Amino acid sequence: MAEIKPFAALRPKPDLADQIAAPPYDVLSSSEARAMAADNPLSFLHVSKAEIDLDPSIDAHDPRVYRQAQSAFHRLIKQGALEQDDRPHLYVYRQTMGDRSQTGIVAAVSCADYENRVVRRHELTLQAKENDRLQHIEALSAQTGPAFLFYPPNQAVARVVQKAAAAAPQVDLTAADGVRHTVWTIHEQGEMEAVVSAFQEMGPLYIADGHHRTAAAVRVWKNRQSGPDKASAYFLAVSFPWDQLKILPYNRAVRDLNGLTAEKFVEAMERLGSWEAAENGVAARHDLRVFLSGKWHRFRWRADLPAQEDEAGRLDVALLQKHVLTPLLGIDNPRTSPKISFLGGIRGPGMLEDAVKSGEFALAFSLCPVTAQDIMAVVDKGGVMPPKSTWFEPKLRDGLFSYLIEA
């Protein structure tokens, strides 16, 4: 059902990959990116966050930023730091974090499949962020940051991946955060055809991360009115089997109790479920942990509350918003309210404790992470996930693959 195709990737020279590859553009502030790339002229941040090479007073979405990105991109190509493969390939990209790894297929994916819901999104996009990536793609005539997709495990794909990964990799680097990134090329035509055929038969693909860059690539394709044979009719993506993914909690910290005392807040929570002391902040499904008054507490929803909701509504992030954050704590719109912060990632409950103990926040909620099956169940029925409900780790590195939509 899903259409993917090989492409001739623009890639770092292998001995320069560790200097070029960079974190995704959207996980760093401009100041963080500027500091990270200051002593490294080859860093892909000069392309993906080109404002770092302009006066800090210039807005990150100023037209000069996109011209600067184009200049930096062309400089890396002219220097030979980035080289394009001589013919189309599929690629294998493995990320190893600690004792686990995830191995994906790098390919060009049909923009039309995004339009007809063969490629399925789980969150809404913001026009301003789409516009930013659209202008970046147009300035470079290239997509430089892959979308992160997932798919049901498939034996035919797994066989090709296993064979490719048995050879010596073209790139094998460990980033500053300890995540190892390894890349192989699938050379044999028959093996590439086997992977393409497997994707055609396996059903939908799901976007894990990269909604804005995907939507922007689709808009570029539609603006250019390109036929299905044109490069702009596809977007750059890495697709992983869902059983290899690690989705981490996306927790909440709230600045005040909205006029309630701690005792009154606990009384209100006890009307929604059970409340008791807890030893730590490790949550389970429908079994939250709350850090309040210097201690961890265990909160379990009344069984009837999730039972009356649809797939998205019965997720803990949705139940918390509906029954606690809005009516008790006065947070109507979690996307815009200054009263709430979202603390996700690998640092765990300790980060929540520190946030509350600092005095900046009054309480924090530790949530159970959603699963890939949760996401599929929601989007297969045409829904979207609640805001700030997924945190995928590790992140794909920018600069390892670029997809040229014009020669």
- The CA distance from 252 to 188, in Å, is 48
Which amino acid belongs to residue 396?
L
List CB contacts of 297: < 8 A, sequence separation 6 or more.
266, 275, 276, 277, 278, 289, 290, 291
Question: What does each C-alpha distance from 49 to 13, 29, 44, 65, 134 come to in angstroms?
Answer: 21, 9, 8, 8, 14
Domains observed in the chain: 4-247+393-404 (no CATH), 250-368 (3.30.1760)
Spans of the chain, pLDDT less than 70: 226-229, 345, 407
Q: For 136, list phi and psi in degrees, rounded to 5.
A: -65, -45
Pairing of strands 180-186, 100-110: unpaired
- The CA distance from 56 to 38, in Å, is 14
Pairing of strands 119-120, 205-209: parallel
> What is residue 348's predicted lDDT score, i.e. its pLDDT?
82
- The CA distance from 99 to 301, in Å, is 33
> What is residue 407's predicted lDDT score, i.e. its pLDDT?
67
**How does DSSP assign 217-265, residue by residue?**
HHHHHHHHT--TTSGGGEEEEEEEEGGG--EE-EEEEES--TT--HHHH
Contact 388, 344 (CB under 8 A): yes
The closest alpha carbon to 214, from 103, 90, 129, belongs to 129
Which amino acid belongs to residue 386?
P
Per-residue pLDDT tens for 126-158? Answer: 899 999 999 999 999 999 999 999 999 999 999
> What is residue 387's predicted lDDT score, i.e. its pLDDT?
86
> What is residue 46's predicted lDDT score, i.e. its pLDDT?
98
> What is residue 226's predicted lDDT score, i.e. its pLDDT?
65
**How does DSSP assign 179-197, residue by residue?**
-EEEEEEE--HHHHHHHHH
The closest alpha carbon to 10, from 301, 236, 238, 267, belongs to 236
**How does DSSP assign 58-112, residue by residue?**
S-TTSHHHHHHHHHHHHHHHHTTSEEE-SS-BEEEEEEEETTEEEEEEEEEEEHH
Which amino acid belongs to residue 286?
H
> What is residue 156's predicted lDDT score, i.e. its pLDDT?
97
Which amino acid belongs to residue 111?
C
The closest alpha carbon to 282, from 368, 341, 354, 356, belongs to 368
DSSP 7: B
- The CA distance from 362 to 262, in Å, is 9
Contact 230, 140 (CB under 8 A): no
Q: For 51, list phi and psi in degrees, rounded to 5.
A: -60, -20
Give the pTM. 0.92
End-to-end CA distance of the chain: 29
- The CA distance from 109 to 121, in Å, is 14
> What is residue 329's predicted lDDT score, i.e. its pLDDT?
98
- The CA distance from 325 to 359, in Å, is 19
